[in-house]
Amino acid sequence: MANRPVSAREIAATLAEANQKEFAALKARYADDPRKQVQRALASAEKRLAREETERERVLGMYALMRKMGGDGIVLGVDEVGRGALAGPLTVAAVALPDDPVVWGVNDSKQLTPERRESLAARISEVALAIGIAHVEPASIDAVGMSAALRMAMSRAIKDAGVEPDCVLIDGNPVHVHPKEKTLVKGDARIACIAAASIVAKVTRDALMVSYDEVYPGYHLAECKGYGSAEHIAAIREKGLTPIHRVSFCGNFLNQPTLF
Domains recognised in the chain with CATH numbers: 8-68 (no CATH), 72-248 (3.30.420.10)
258 pLDDT exceeds 50?
no
Strand-pairing partners, residue 123, are none
Q: Give tens-digit pLDDT for 48-71.
A: 998 999 999 999 999 999 999 999
Q: In what order do the strands lie in the sheet with 90-96?
A: 130-136, 90-96, 75-81, 167-171, 181-184
Q: Cβ contacts of residue 207 below 8 Å, gap of 6+?
A: none
Nearest residue to 74 (alpha-carbon basis) of 157, 135, 158: 158
Work out the average pLDDT over 87-91: 98
Q: Give tens-digit pLDDT for 197-247.
A: 999 999 999 999 999 999 999 999 999 999 999 999 999 999 999 999 999
Q: Cβ contacts of residue 196 below 8 Å, gap of 6+?
A: 77, 95, 97, 103, 106, 120, 124, 128
- With contact defined as beta carbons under 8 Å apart, do 34 and 8 qualify? no
Identity of residue 143? A
Nearest residue to 103 (alpha-carbon basis) of 240, 238, 216, 200: 200
Q: Cβ contacts of residue 174 below 8 Å, gap of 6+?
A: 181, 183
Tell me, what DSSP letter sits at residue 188? Answer: G
Strand-pairing partners, residue 87, are 245
Mean pLDDT estimate for the chain: 94
Work out the average pLDDT over 184-188: 95
